Structure 1
Amino acid sequence: MSQPRALIKDQITFYGAGSMAEAIVRGIIARSVVLSTSITMLNRSNTERLEELKQRYNVITNNDETAKVRILQNSPIIVLAMKPKDAAASLQQLGPLLSDGQLIVSVIAGLSIKTMQRLLGRKQPIARTMPNTSSSIGLGATGLSFSKEITEDQRQTVTTLFEAVGIVTVIPEEHMDVLTGISGSGPAYIYYMMEAMMEAGIRGGLSPKQCKELTVQTVLGAARMVQQTGEEPSALRAKVTSPNGSTQAAIMMLDQGDFFEDVIAAVNRCAERSSEMGAALEEEGS
């Protein structure tokens, strides 16, 4: 059986091996964007985690310090996926290892291109991205911003990388924090509402299995209705909200709790926190 042809032939190193890195790796391997043997995953010291990823995805891993230096020096594409608290020190250590053509792809919330270049100590080509974990099943939503040093080929590589695991939106970098509030963290809001819907069903006497199946299908169907009909959510909501009916009673209850404005406030607070984290990282590395 012949090996599938990959869309991206370059070696890619994931510097950080947490849930977001795993989500992207799972997605790009499943869709033959990059072969597993072209992916290297590194972290600070968690060898057990790297071994788990190696067994699960057949990627290359290494935790030897000398080997990590060599890998980072020679990788055409480095995806920064470490925890924000580790970012400043990691970038300062990475900078002296880099050469001009290496592409940096960041999935670190709040960390600006300007700050990354300052921490690296060089004007490296950088793509700042904000994907979400739905990338692991090909349904991600990723925001992209590029430094002026990036080449057209590098821009296309990054776009291909994330288009293969969902939709891509290229935005001015100053809008990245609000995108984080909408799509970066957005799945968590939906999961939270699903938790509440399932709990309501359980308290009403349905089994947990029934509640999960009904809730999952309802959320999936609602999203697909918006996607496939092209109608606005407000119009679709109106169609199922009969005057003085049960759905209207439910919506009125949500409105009493200021549900609409609470969701907007949550998105805004997420964006603010992303900005705060970026400012803290900038201060830490100054």
Structure 2
Amino acid sequence: MKKIAIVGAGSMAEAFISGILENKLIDRQHIWVTNHGNRERLALLEERYGISSTYELSTLFKGADIVMLAMKPKDADTAINHIHEFLTDDMLIVSVLAGVSINTIETLTRKPLSIARSMPNTSAAVGKSATAIAVNERVTTEQLKTIKILFETVGLAKFVEEEQLDAVTGLSGSGPAYIYYLIEAMENSADEIGLDKQIAQELIVQTLIGAAEMVKNSSKSPEQLRREVTSPGGTTEAGIRVLEEYGVQQAFISCIKAASAQSKLMGKSLSSELNVSKHL
């Protein structure tokens, strides 16, 4: 990676800037960013990370081998139309635009380019994203390596087929919110059984971290691990019995299916709007 030009300066763009620098992927002078017109935001990123920003597109894209599309998905048409003449066939286009298909990006850029479409989640802000990535046929073996290294600066990175990205969105893209929802419930229960809120939160967070590490590092399945701590007639069994009575596991399955279906619906709608807008 020689230079990365980031179009969009929101939280996801910042997560990558931070991750790239923390992992020493490239020097800060080779990270450039722009946005639609929020100069204060660009100034903040410059001050915080020592990177460069500009509204001069020839400067932004000069020497860039990676271009990250990180604007709001609804602004993709306008933004790509603004920059498309500066995109060259030796550049790798990396998209973090939720719901915007590779085909739509190809249509908007109006030229054959190497494109990687990703679905990170908000945990990228702390370097713990679970990201799935799909690529088009123009992406080279060397570019695949670069993509993986880039996304590993903000967490776990896995390649999938593009049609699987809606499922990924429902599972890990929206996943942090499901965990926050669970934490909310555990905090509320702690209050009802008389635990101090701060102590309860620390215990809950550490419990989740510990359980996740057990699943990550153990050869046993989550079901096996659960059964090992569920003694007959014990406290855990009493709690699990209530979860089963309320159908909590099935509720989570239905939740993820609904989110995946909504992702597919929103993606089709957004891609249709962007393509229609492009040809008006």
- TM-score of the superposed pair, with normalisation by structure 2: 0.91
Question: Which of residues 221, 227, 246 is equivalent to 1:257?
Answer: 246
Map 1:21-40 to 2 at 5 A. 21-40=13-32
1:14 aligns to what SS in structure 2? strand
Between the aligned partners of 2:243 and 2:16, the Cα distance in structure 1 is: 35
Map 1:184-203 to 2 at 5 A. 184-203=173-192
Alignment of 1:11 onto 2:30: no
Instruction: Mark the CA change 1:182 to 1:34 in structure 2 (over 3 Å): closer, same or farther.
Output: farther
Match of 1:47 in 2: 39
Between the aligned partners of 2:254 and 2:78, the Cα distance in structure 1 is: 33
Match of 1:180 in 2: 169
Alignment of 1:216 onto 2:205: yes
Task: Assess if the C-alpha contact under 8 Å between 2:96 and 2:119 holds in 1.
Answer: yes
Map 1:121-132 to 2 at 5 A. 121-132=110-121
Between the aligned partners of 2:243 and 2:136, the Cα distance in structure 1 is: 42
Between the aligned partners of 1:277 and 1:70, the Cα distance in structure 2 is: 35
Alignment of 1:247 onto 2:236: yes
Task: Assess if the C-alpha contact under 8 Å between 1:39 and 1:59 holds in 2.
Answer: yes
Alignment of 1:60 onto 2:49: no
Task: Assess if the C-alpha contact under 8 Å between 1:25 and 1:136 holds in 2.
Answer: no
Give a deviation string over 1:90-143, Cα, whole Å, max 9, x none.
223332321111110011112111111011112211011112233343332221
Between the aligned partners of 1:38 and 1:199, the Cα distance in structure 2 is: 47
Tell me by how many angstroms 1:170 deviates: 1.1
Task: Assess if the C-alpha contact under 8 Å between 1:77 and 1:102 holds in 2.
Answer: yes
Task: Assess if the C-alpha contact under 8 Å between 2:121 and 2:174 holds in 1.
Answer: yes
Match of 2:81 in 1: 92
Between the aligned partners of 1:187 and 1:22, the Cα distance in structure 2 is: 19
Alignment of 1:232 onto 2:221: yes
Q: What is the percent sequence identity of the aligned residues?
A: 40
Tell me by how many angstroms 1:73 deviates: 5.7
Between the aligned partners of 1:136 and 1:35, the Cα distance in structure 2 is: 20
Question: Which of residues 137, 140, 153 is equivalent to 1:151?
Answer: 140
Between the aligned partners of 2:153 and 2:96, the Cα distance in structure 1 is: 16
- Counterpart of 2:42, as a letter, is L
Between the aligned partners of 1:111 and 1:147, the Cα distance in structure 2 is: 14
Task: Assess if the C-alpha contact under 8 Å between 1:41 and 1:60 holds in 2.
Answer: yes
Alignment of 1:207 onto 2:196: yes
Instruction: Mark the CA change 1:212 to 1:171 in structure 2 (over 3 Å): closer, same or farther.
Output: same
Task: Assess if the C-alpha contact under 8 Å between 2:57 and 2:83 holds in 1.
Answer: no
Between the aligned partners of 1:36 and 1:258, the Cα distance in structure 2 is: 50
Between the aligned partners of 1:181 and 1:114, the Cα distance in structure 2 is: 21
Q: Extract unaligned runs of 5+ from structure 1.
A: 1-7
Task: Assess if the C-alpha contact under 8 Å between 2:99 and 2:271 holds in 1.
Answer: no
Match of 2:130 in 1: 141
Between the aligned partners of 2:204 and 2:131, the Cα distance in structure 1 is: 25
- Counterpart of 2:256, as a letter, is V
Task: Assess if the C-alpha contact under 8 Å between 1:117 and 1:124 holds in 2.
Answer: yes
How many residues in Structure 1 have an aligned counterpart in Structure 2?
Answer: 275
Task: Assess if the C-alpha contact under 8 Å between 2:128 and 2:156 holds in 1.
Answer: yes
Between the aligned partners of 1:47 and 1:203, the Cα distance in structure 2 is: 47
Q: Extract unaligned runs of 5+ from structure 2.
A: none
- Counterpart of 1:176, as a letter, is L
Note the aligned Cα RMSD (angstroms).
Answer: 1.8
